[in-house]
Amino acid sequence: MRWEILVVVVGVALAAGAARAEAVRLADRVEFAKGAGETRAVREECGLQEMLPELVRQQAKEVELVSGTASGPRTLQLAIVEVHAPGGGPFSGPKSMTVEATLREDGRVRATARAHRATADPFGGTCDQLRKVARAIAADLGAWLESPEDAALGDR
């Protein structure tokens, strides 16, 4: 009888672990939300829309990039909701970006996060500074995915 209980307990634990290990699917391109404030130069030259999902994948090994809209049991949706990046590199002041993340499991929202980072790096152009911000946001989101709950991440 004890062995049967042990087998059931181990089976339940393995099933729970397998569900947790299910890949989190993320679209390989993130969109700027309406009113995010990005300039045409940022949109066309910085590559943030493709870079951010790849950076998140590098930070969170359970993330799987997919072409088009992500679907499946576990999905992560990202949106760039705010960009402050006047041209002029370090001479035009700090650059910042805010990203909203929604983690869904079986179609239901499991957790949301809003990640904000800024930099006033005296070296590099506007895109270089935004890439630095994107790397920091990706690290924040990677850590958040380890124990997702509604959160404000980064500088705010």
CATH number for the domain that contains residue 73: 3.30.160
Give the structural domain span for 34: 24-154
Is residue 9 in some structural domain? no
Number of structural domains found in the chain: 1
Is residue 54 in some structural domain? yes
Determine the Cα–Cα distance for residues 146 and 139; give it in Å rounded to an integer: 11
Determine the Cα–Cα distance for residues 117 and 28; give it in Å rounded to an integer: 21
Burial string for 112-136 (b: 16+ CB within 10 Å, else e) reads: bbbbbbbbeeeeeebbbbbbbbbbb
Predicted confidence at residue 17, as pLDDT, reads 47
Q: If we measure between CA atoms, which residue out of 61, 64, 59, 87 comes closest to residue 75?
A: 64
In a structure prediction context, what are the per-residue pLDDT tens digits for the chain, which is 156 residues long?
565 554 444 444 444 444 456 899 999 999 999 999 999 999 999 999 999 999 999 999 999 999 999 999 999 999 999 999 988 777 788 899 999 999 999 999 999 999 999 998 788 889 999 999 999 999 999 999 999 999 999 986
The DSSP 8-state label assigned to residue 30 in this structure reads: -
